[in-house]
Amino acid sequence: MKSHTEYLWFNTKKEKEIVPITDAIEKIVSASGVKEGFCLVSAMHITAAVYVNDEESGLITDILDWAEKLAPVGNYRHHHTGESNGDAHLKRLLLGHQVLLPITNGKLDLGPWERVFYAEFDGMRKKRVIVKVMGE
């Protein structure tokens, strides 16, 4: 079995932002040489998420609005520790911190509209995502 690891680095221009990362992941899968296996993509920060959905601007805005409705900016107990990003931690829980993607014939095996995204909820500073490819 082969294993290949790379990191994607982000420093978003906005505090809350969704970034398409499918193309970058496809390049990593290709570089790995894995023909059959899996690709794990995981946000390595507790205020960011990785998810799979459609790349459509209205939907992306709807996802940000939905996350804000369910975990609005507010006064959280977390803020009593000197932090101010309690909502970002909760938004990450809503979208999830990682995805496991199938690889078939050396390529990501996604559905016709599926794309991979990095969601940032406490941005404007350097953060990373691990991409680990495993298989044969």
Q: Which domains does the chain have, with CATH numbers?
A: 2-73+83-135 (2.60.120.460)
Lay out the sheet containing 127-135: strands in order across. Answer: 2-10, 127-135, 37-43, 98-104, 107-108
d(CA 108, CA 128): 21
Q: What is the pLDDT along the chain (136 residues), one digit of tens a residue?
A: 999 999 999 999 999 999 999 999 999 999 999 999 999 999 999 999 999 999 999 999 999 999 999 999 999 999 999 999 999 999 999 999 999 999 999 999 999 999 999 999 999 999 999 999 999 9
DSSP secondary structure letter of residue 77: G
Nearest alpha-carbon partner for 78 in 60, 93, 64: 93
From the DSSP assignment, how many helices (H) and strands (E) are in the chain?
Answer: 3, 8
pLDDT of residue 117: 98
pLDDT at 75: 94
Structure confidence at residue 115 (pLDDT): 98
- Residue 93: its pLDDT value, please? 98
Per-residue model confidence (pLDDT) at position 46? 97
Give the separation between CA 34 and CA 133, rounded to whole angstroms: 7
Q: Distance from first CA to last CA of the chain, Å, rounded? A: 5
